[in-house]
Structure 1
Amino acid sequence: MLTLSLFRHTKSNWPDTDLGDFDRALAPRGEQAAPAMGAYMRSIDLSPEFVLCSPALRAVQTARLTLSELPETPKIEFDERLYHAGSDNLLAILREVSDSFESIMIIGHNPGLHVFALDLVDKSRADLVGAMSGKFPTGALAVFSVDVQNWSEIETRQATLKDFMTPKQLPKSMKQG
């Protein structure tokens, strides 16, 4: 059984047009939400061994602030393919992950991450799937268990959604700021 977490970067700024989308930084709200989501991950014992992260500034900042809240820092790889990746691209990238990792996280962007989450899920947890189906907001975290031995074997409609959380849903005790 493998664990896959899909984590959308937290809230970013929409600055002047001089700055491209790739270089957008986190907004103050995103800077607060990222460590709070890390604290949530710690509270549910989510500890990815390997993180694939988009190299876009807001994703890198989210990774740094979130992962610093975990008991152990996972190995992290920045992959340019994650920026603007669609569901099919994300599945192909996931299938390349080393089988030495049982728990991985992808930190990326919508709409690809949301579509990928919906493509993966087996619909067995209607309550969580329903919450995730409507919206995958900034800072959203979807945690799946996948009943395969190797990442190369993963297929769509094969993952069971174990948890879905957003910064707005966090218990007040975990919210910072």
Structure 2
Amino acid sequence: MLNLVLVRHAKSAWHTPGLADFDRPLAPRGREAAAWIGRQLAAAGLVPDRVLCSTARRTRETLELALPALPAAVREAVSWHDEIYEQRDDDGYLTFLASRGGTASALMLVGHNPATAVTAVGLLADRSEATRTPLLDYPTGGIAAFAFAIERWSDLAPGTGRLLGFWRPPRE
């Protein structure tokens, strides 16, 4: 059994003229949500043994602010990937996860929309879950956790996931 946690980066700032999308930092609300993400992951027992994170500034900041709430070993399990930011294929992150999951039994990806939402919905074995959760309109700072009855990430395929839970940051 493998587990996957999909995290969309927390709320980013849009107020800096001329700043490239890749370089946008988190907004103050996003910084609070990023710390909440770490606390929520720890409270739910969603501790990954491998983390794949986009190299964009807002995803890096999201992960860095979430990490203090998680065991120290998680920090050592982080790898950074340009491909996560650049993902534009119709299958979302599915191929990337299948090829980069390695030997992890609990994998986490910190990424962007629309790829995060496309991946989450595509993985659902029970597609009706998409209409009962915010997966179709995956909010910033949203966390979805899945379980798969597979032994290798290379066997990851559409429709093979069971949604364990979905969480969104509290609004102030």
Normalising by structure 2, report the TM-score: 0.91
Tell me the alpha carbon deviations over residues 112-162 of structure 1, each in whole angstroms, 9 at most, x when there is no partner.
110110001111774x75113442100000000011000000100000000
Matches within 5 A, 1:1-177: 1-74=1-74, 75-86=77-88, 87-88=90-91, 90-123=93-126, 126=129, 130-168=132-170
**Partners of 2:144 and 2:165 within 8 A in 1:** yes
Give 1:96 deviation, angstroms. Answer: 1.3
State the partner residue of 1:172: none
Structure 2, unaligned runs of 5 or more: none
Identity %: 34
How many pairs align?
A: 169
Structure 1, unaligned runs of 5 or more: 170-174
Q: Give every structure 1 segment of 4 or more consecutive aligned residues whose post-TM-superposition deviation is greater than 6 Å.
A: none
Tell me the alpha carbon deviations over residues 53-103 of structure 1, each in whole angstroms, 9 at most, x when there is no partner.
000000000011112211233211111010141452511111112542100
**Partners of 2:117 and 2:136 within 8 A in 1:** no
What is the root-mean-square deviation of aligned Cα atoms in Å? 1.9
**Partners of 1:47 and 1:70 within 8 A in 2:** yes
> Counterparts of 1:105 and 1:81 in 2: how far apart (Å)?
15
Normalising by structure 1, report the TM-score: 0.88
**Partners of 2:101 and 2:107 within 8 A in 1:** no
